[in-house]
Amino acid sequence: MLRDSRIVSLLWPPEQPPEPGPSRLDAQTLLDDLDLREVIRALAGNDEQREPFVTQLLQEMCAREEVIQYRQEVVADLLAHEALRERLDHVLDGLTELVQDRELHFPSSWPVAQVAQRASTLEHYVMVAVLLRDALQDEPVRSAGLQALREKLRSLVADAWFQQLRQELPSLRATLDRVRSVTVGINFSPSFLPESAALLSIDSDGIEGRAPFVERLFGKGGARGLSPLYDIDVTNPHNPLYREVLRLVETAVAPVTQALRGYTQVNAFALNHLERELSFYLNAVALTRRLNDAGLPACQPRIAPLEARVARLEDAYNVTLALRLGAHKADSVPAAVSLVTNAVAFDDAPARLWILTGPNRGGKTTYIRAVGQAQVLFQAGLPVPARSGRLSPVDAIYTHFPLPEGTQVGMGRLDDEASRLAQIFQAATRQSLILLNEVLAGTSAFEAVALAIDVVRGLRLLGVRAIYTTHLHELALRADEINGTTPGDSRVGSLVAEVDAGGDGDDGAEHRRTFRIVPGPPRGSSYASDIAQRHGISFPHLVELFQRRGVLRHHTG
């Protein structure tokens, strides 16, 4: 019977319970730097009340291989069995209503007005347990989580205690349904003033107010009063007759009250976590199928040991960007048409620490967000946006993205950046993932290169997986020098965001960004002039603009 504080968890194996402690991923990293708000919304089924649970689960960043595999197997079962998904979707609504009913825990003294509600809750409880059992009854599930849940539900429904409750509830409901109204007799004085009253009977039919004229004319309708039906103020039951009504009703429902006392240990909260977990999994499968329907891959990566510190993904992409593209495309136009996928590689070879350079708006930030997103989803046990992959868990993700001006009062930008980098180095381990986006842009290029080299040397010495996006091309050019002068087993490599020239590159033609991220030396330019031309702020554009506005004071050749 479901008297345990928890039934089978689909997120945590019995031998691997949750570990209390601080989350491994702070909210700013999850929501802002990794840009996972829309993914959280999708995993919550667009239900704001479910978002805190999803957010907390992603922030936990579970690094235990057994737990990740346990979850992956549940997802695999749900992806493989459409009928099972449909049945569980059907049961989920009833399960949600049940766990939201906080009346299931009975106090020692029950107000009579709550007895019917509590009986209804138990009826709901029995119905949901049977539906869950039936949903899993004949499905060939292979995951340990769903198999254990199926056996638990089979045992519950077959339990003598549960069968007794299931058999008693119809008769208890019938007893409650017989108490729908009371008939009151009133005595009048010779002056026709009401002077006394008594209760005459308890009836199983409700009383309706005075019938409309047409119903009275044609004899329609059931038991009707001689006057309209007036509401009773149940919040102020001081009238002796009202108290007598309550006493009689308590007597009438006493058998129900007594019977329900035998089920005070029923704990709806044993199903509370199951409701949230089922919702999370079903929404995750729906998200995966939505991506597949758009022509985008999603895979369950093979799990590598934590100590291996590896990541290999083929055709990876930023899932948030995919969702946004899908929201702006017609159903007939798959997101895959306009989304570029890239490989992700952290290993002894070619590198575990990448310096990523390339043009502005060339996809660098989108890429490092995709790396972080894949790691978060993987450690939640969910499919990741890639065609195939093999990943080691990380113990935490640390990010350093530009903050709005003035975020740190009393500190310059360089001070702020240095402080945040110091916090990362104080907390990170060899098993961490560090994503640095345009760090040390708050000083001169000469000073920035020197500082950035020290940062990269520190990352190599620590042995982490990291990506450092920057416009400091000299930093990437000195990767071999850093490898040769700094001890460590996180080899430094160079990634570049590729571009295709619109012409021969000398006639002012704009370079086309391909959004492909590939290993290679830096190109030596951020192509800021392309952006200046696009927005009309290159010098020739400005001359033309000022001439059209008539604001030039001298001739410009």
On whether residue 108 sits in a domain, the answer given is yes
On whether residue 1 sits in a domain, the answer given is no
On whether residue 258 sits in a domain, the answer given is no
Reference 400, options 36, 62, 32, 40; nearest CA is 32
Min mean pLDDT across 135-139, 256-260, 435-439, 470-474 is at: 256-260
Residue 250 has pLDDT above 80, yes or no: no
Reference 136, options 159, 157, 164; nearest CA is 157
Confidence of residue 122 (pLDDT cuts 50, 70, 90): confident
On whether residue 15 sits in a domain, the answer given is no
How many domains does the chain contain in total?
Answer: 4
What is the per-residue pLDDT for 449?
A: 85
Mean pLDDT of the chain: 82
Quick check: helix, strand or coil at residue 465?
strand
Alpha helices per DSSP H over 261-308: 269-293
What is the per-residue pLDDT for 490?
A: 93
389: Cβ contacts below 8 Å, ≥ 6 apart:
299, 301, 302, 311, 312, 313, 314, 316, 344, 374, 378
Distance between CA atoms of 279 and 285, rounded to whole angstroms? 10
Residue 341 has pLDDT above 70, yes or no: yes
Q: Are 352 and 467 members of one domain?
A: yes
Confidence of residue 337 (pLDDT cuts 50, 70, 90): low
Distance between CA atoms of 150 and 144, rounded to whole angstroms? 10
Residue 5 has pLDDT above 50, yes or no: no
Q: Return phi, psi of residue 15, to 5°.
A: -85, 0
On whether residue 5 sits in a domain, the answer given is no
The CA-based angle 389-392-395, given to 5 degrees, is 140
CATH of residue 338:
3.40.50.300
What is the per-residue pLDDT for 512?
A: 76
Reference 13, options 78, 73, 54; nearest CA is 73
120: Cβ contacts below 8 Å, ≥ 6 apart:
none
Amino acid at 381: G
On whether residue 246 sits in a domain, the answer given is yes
Q: Are 131 and 196 members of one domain?
A: no
Q: Are 383 and 500 members of one domain?
A: yes
Provide, rounded to the nearest whole percent, the portion of the chain with pLDDT above 70: 78
- Is the omega angle on the peptide bond into residue 237 within 30 degrees of 0, that is, cis? no
Helix, strand, coil in percent for the chain, rounding step 5:
50, 15, 40
Instruction: Identify the top-confidence range among 93-107, 333-347, 365-379.
Output: 365-379
Reference 427, options 462, 476, 452, 466; nearest CA is 462
Q: Are 233 and 334 members of one domain?
A: no
Q: What is the mean pLDDT of residues 299-306?
A: 97
Confidence of residue 66 (pLDDT cuts 50, 70, 90): very high
First to last CA, the chain: 90
Distance between CA atoms of 269 and 105, rounded to whole angstroms? 9
Q: Are 228 and 278 members of one domain?
A: no
Domain span holding position 138: 27-175+264-289
Residue 395: CA count within 13 A, CB half-sphere: 11
On whether residue 18 sits in a domain, the answer given is no
On whether residue 517 sits in a domain, the answer given is yes
Residue 219 has pLDDT above 90, yes or no: no
Contact 95, 271 (CB under 8 A): yes
Contact 367, 533 (CB under 8 A): no
Q: What is the mean pLDDT of residues 511-521?
A: 87
Instruction: Identify the top-confidence range among 137-151, 194-208, 440-454.
Output: 137-151
Q: What are 84-108's pLDDT values in tens digits? A: 999 999 999 888 887 776 544 444 4
What is the per-residue pLDDT for 110?
A: 46
